[in-house]
Structure 1
Amino acid sequence: MIEINELTKRYGGTTAVHGLTFTVRPGRVTGFLGPNGSGKSTTLRMVLGLHAPSSGSVLIDGRPFRDRPRGLRQVGALLDAGEVHGGRSGRAHLTALARSNRIPRSRVDEVLAEVGLADAAKRRIGGYSLGMRQRLGIAGALLGDPPVLLFDEPLNGLDPEGVRWVRGLFRRLAAEGRTVFVSSHLMTEMEHTADELVVIGRGELIAAESLTAFAARGGATVTVRTPGHAALAALLAERGAQVRTDGEVLTVTGVPAAEIGELALRHQLPLHELSPRTASLEQAFMELTAAHAAHRSTNDLARSAR
């Protein structure tokens, strides 16, 4: 379990993380989301004791990570797959990690096989592709068979087969009762993988809840196509619906599909399409983090002002 309480980090006059409080529990995959510059990487580095917090605390199973002399046995982490010595082989890199944490050397070959790098174990890391480096980083996280695992953007550089493999790995680790905390900007993958979400923006907590509850914040919509779009849009607006028009196509929020169909029938408006759309994680994320994005285009600003 990871317990974060009122965590704050300042760099001079800049506050990267402010007053974060949330818990990452075992037995589930928790996604860690936020716009660029939101403080995700800084938070993960404070969890691992790489950055000291300005105030607040982080506990892993009741203790700070720095208090654990053989850290890989307690927490496995992938923060940056590029932070390895390119002149070493994959096996040499993992062997050094195993020796420093008193992990049996037999474990090195086990994790190399698990991540699909057994045939590349003797090759220099400098010749690895980005996807192979990601797999090596995951192998390092798994090396100590830890109960807590952290991954920062673990899918970068992976091909579709690799993405499916990682998705299954995270689900299996959580099913074994481990704490799995995954930072990613890929909404589709979080929809397929995460049970819980922690969402931050500009260093502050936006939400900490189940994926289903968070996605529902985006609101379900209904796509309607009708030659009577202007009349139907006016009728729906009278009922308090939010309506976006694009030619004959209406995107409606706030009124269910059945009610739209009944309204169109009552006023003899033909419908060529009536398609309910469930709420999506991406839609909820974009709406709830719009005001917290550190880097926004002119079009983003125009949309948020509407």
Structure 2
Amino acid sequence: MIEVNQLTKRYGEVTAVNGLTFTVRPGYVTGFLGPNGAGKSTTMRMILGLNRPTSGSATIDGRPFARHRAGLRHAGALLDASDVHGGRSAAAHLSALARSNGLPRCRVGEVLRDVGLESVARRRVAGFSLGMRQRLGIAAALLGDAPVLLFDEPVNGLDPEGVRWVRGLFRRLAGEGRTVLVSSHLMSEMEHTADRLIVIGRGELIAAESLTEFAARGTGASVTVRTPDPAELAAVLAHAGAHVRQDEGAGLTVTGLSAARIGELAYERRILLYELAPRAASLEQAFMELTAESADYRATSPAGDRR
């Protein structure tokens, strides 16, 4: 388990993280989201003892990470896939980590097989693609078979097969009862991967809840309705204050009224319904709405629009 309590980090007059409190529990994939500059990487570095907080605390299984001997046995992490000596081979890099953490040498071969790098174990890392470096970073995180795992932008540079593999890996690790924290700016990835979300903006907590609960906060929620009388139902719903868009065939997309209320109105007018399905707002839409005031960098016009 990861516990963060009133965590604060200041760099001079700049506050990168401000009074952050949350818990990451075992058995779930927890997504860690926020706009650029929100303080995600700084927070992860403080959890791992790489940055010292100005105040507050961050613990792994009840203790600061620095107090855990042989740290890779307690927490594994991928923070920066490029932070590897290019002159070393993949096997040499992992072997050095294994020795310094008192891990058996056999773990090197095991994790290289797990991430699909066994055939290039003796190649120098300098010749690796970004995707291969990501896989090597994941291998390093898995080396100690730790109960707590942190990954910062783990799918950068991975091809579609690699992305699907990472999704399955995180699900498997959480299913084994491990604590899995994944930072990403890809909303589509979090929709496919995360069970719970921690969302921050300008170093402060915005949300700590399930993926479904967070998406439901967005205003883009709608109801899909199919009926043999779309025009009649559309008029009834519009009169009740809904916004109605007619789709192909007998379909309507309705906003402004709940599925229950739409069903009641249809029943009162004896209008047959084939389908009545609420649709939550997308994670991306909810994220954009709820972090709009926390984004430090925002484009004012489409790229390339120079008139």
Category of TM-score, reference length = shorter chain: 0.7 to 0.9
Give 1:233 shift: 8.9
Letter in 1 for 2:212: T
Are the aligned partners of 2:98 and 2:143 in contact in 1 as well (CA < 8 Å)?
yes
The secondary structure found in structure 1 opposite 2:17 is strand
Query: Residue deviations 1:208-232, cap 9 Å, x none?
Result: 01111111112422479x899x978
Query: Residue deviations 1:127-175, cap 9 Å, x none?
Result: 1111100000000000011110000000001111111111111111111
What does residue range 161-200 of structure 1 map to in structure 2 within 5 Å?
161-200=161-200
Letter in 1 for 2:158: L
Are the aligned partners of 1:131 and 1:156 in contact in 2 as well (CA < 8 Å)?
yes
CA RMSD, 1 decimal: 3.0
Report the counterpart of residue 239 of structure 2 in structure 1: 235
Give 1:261 shift: 8.6
Letter in 2 for 1:94: L
Letter in 2 for 1:221: S
Give 1:251 shift: 6.5
Distance in 1 between the 2:202 and 2:214 partners? 19
Distance change (3 Å), C-alpha of 1:256 and 1:21 = same
Give 1:188 shift: 1.6
Distance change (3 Å), C-alpha of 1:196 and 1:275 = closer
Report the counterpart of residue 271 of structure 1 in structure 2: none
Q: How many residues align?
A: 294
Distance in 1 between the 2:126 and 2:66 partners? 30
Note if 1:49 corresponds to 2:49: yes
Distance in 1 between the 2:253 and 2:15 partners? 39
Are the aligned partners of 1:91 and 1:121 in contact in 2 as well (CA < 8 Å)?
yes
Note if 1:279 corresponds to 2:266: no
Note if 1:298 corresponds to 2:305: no
Q: What TM-score do you get using the length of structure 1 for normalisation?
A: 0.85
Distance in 2 between the 1:37 and 1:227 partners? 48
The secondary structure found in structure 1 opposite 2:6 is strand
Give 1:101 shift: 0.7
Report the counterpart of residue 270 of structure 1 in structure 2: none
Distance in 1 between the 2:244 and 2:128 partners? 48
Report the counterpart of residue 222 of structure 2 in structure 1: 221
Q: What TM-score do you get using the length of structure 2 for normalisation?
A: 0.85
Give 1:297 shift: 2.2
Are the aligned partners of 1:7 and 1:57 in contact in 2 as well (CA < 8 Å)?
yes
Query: Residue deviations 1:233-279, cap 9 Å, x none?
Result: 96354xxx4x4989x99974321467569879999xxxxxx985333
What are structure 2's unaligned runs of at least 5 residues?
270-275, 303-307
Report the counterpart of residue 118 of structure 2 in structure 1: 118
Report the counterpart of residue 93 of structure 1 in structure 2: 93
Letter in 1 for 2:79: L
Give 1:298 shift: 2.5
Are the aligned partners of 1:233 and 1:250 in contact in 2 as well (CA < 8 Å)?
no
Are the aligned partners of 2:237 and 2:262 in contact in 1 as well (CA < 8 Å)?
no
Letter in 2 for 1:280: S
The secondary structure found in structure 2 opposite 1:298 is coil
Comparing 133-142 with 214-223, greater Cα deviation is found at 214-223
Are the aligned partners of 2:215 and 2:280 in contact in 1 as well (CA < 8 Å)?
no
Report the counterpart of residue 291 of structure 2 in structure 1: 289
Letter in 2 for 1:290: A
What are structure 1's unaligned runs of at least 5 residues?
268-273, 301-306
Query: Residue deviations 1:85-129, cap 9 Å, x none?
Result: 111110011011111111111110000000000001011111111
